[in-house]
Amino acid sequence: MNVPGVRPPLADEVVARLREAVASGRWGVGEKIPSEPELIAEFGVSRGTLREAIKALAHAGLFEVLRGDGTYVRATSEISGTAQRVFREHADEDVLQVRFALDTQAARLAAGSADTAVVAELRSLLARRRESWESGDYAAWSAADWEFHLRVAEASGNTLLHELYESFGDVFHGTKMVQRLEAGFDGCLATGHEELLEAIEAGDGEAAVRTVIANLDYCMGWMPGR
């Protein structure tokens, strides 16, 4: 493809090696990566080149650079940072419609590959979700709710879909949900999630899609300005 004499920018190679290090689990999410001088010694490049690589991945959401402290791993997929920046530039309604698209597909696929172990775990999550809501622990409710959706995406068997859910998490769930809680939100159809789980357990993809549609249609009613 390329003439032997020409080589790609060194910084790109450093980006690839950093990406690979994160993907391989050398540094887990939340951990601090080695300091610049250490990485310079390891990769054998100058500080400027290393910083360009780190900056690119930090912009993509893989790293967070804290001046005076160090650089931390914030995600395993570098789509999160960019996606969140793009998503924030669009109306909440548009974002929810895209989530709707992914939710229905995740439900359909999850129903198609029903697994008793996964169903049991989902049931456990819904129990925790219900308890948190009734005890007024909104933070725990929010966490359990999102965990449920994430597991459904994982159960779809589509690794890309699962990765998208993990990356979009903060935008889909974290920021938006809280706003609605203040306004007398009632937990988004208390029985909606149970119905979805039943449809998944029964392996009925179309029924699963219907519950998601009903659920999100209801949610959409809580959108500001509608």
Partner DNA sequence: AAACATTAGACGTCTGATGTTTGTTACGGC
Partner DNA sequence: GCCGTAACAAACATCAGACGTCTAATGTTT
Residue count of the chain, please give it. 226
Strands 70-73 and 63-66 turn out to be antiparallel
**Interface pick for a copy of itself out of 97, 124, 135, 179 (rule CB under 8 A):** 97
Part of the chain binding a copy of itself (CB under 8 A), chosen from 74-82, 129-137, 189-197, 214-222: 74-82
Among a copy of itself, DNA, none, residue 85 binds (CB under 5-8 Å by kind):
a copy of itself
Among DNA, a copy of itself, none, residue 109 binds (CB under 5-8 Å by kind):
a copy of itself
Contact at 8 Å (CB) between 90 and 171? no
Instruction: List contacts with DNA (CB under 7 A).
Output: 5-7, 9-11, 35-37, 44-49, 51-52, 65-71
- Separation between Cα atoms, residue 183 and residue 176, nearest integer Å: 12
- Separation between Cα atoms, residue 138 and residue 129, nearest integer Å: 9
Could you tell me the smallest distance in angstroms from the CB atom of residue 160 to DNA? 30
Part of the chain binding a copy of itself (CB under 8 A), chosen from 33-41, 44-52, 118-126, 185-193: 44-52
- Separation between Cα atoms, residue 82 and residue 167, nearest integer Å: 10
Calculate ∠ Cα 49-50-54, nearest 5°. Answer: 120
Token digits of residue 196: 């979805």
Could you tell me the smallest distance in angstroms from the CB atom of residue 26 to DNA? 16
Max distance between CA atoms of the chain, in angstroms, equals 67
Q: Confirm or reject binding of residue 83 to a copy of itself (CB under 8 A).
A: yes
**Interface pick for a copy of itself out of 40, 98, 114, 214 (rule CB under 8 A):** 98
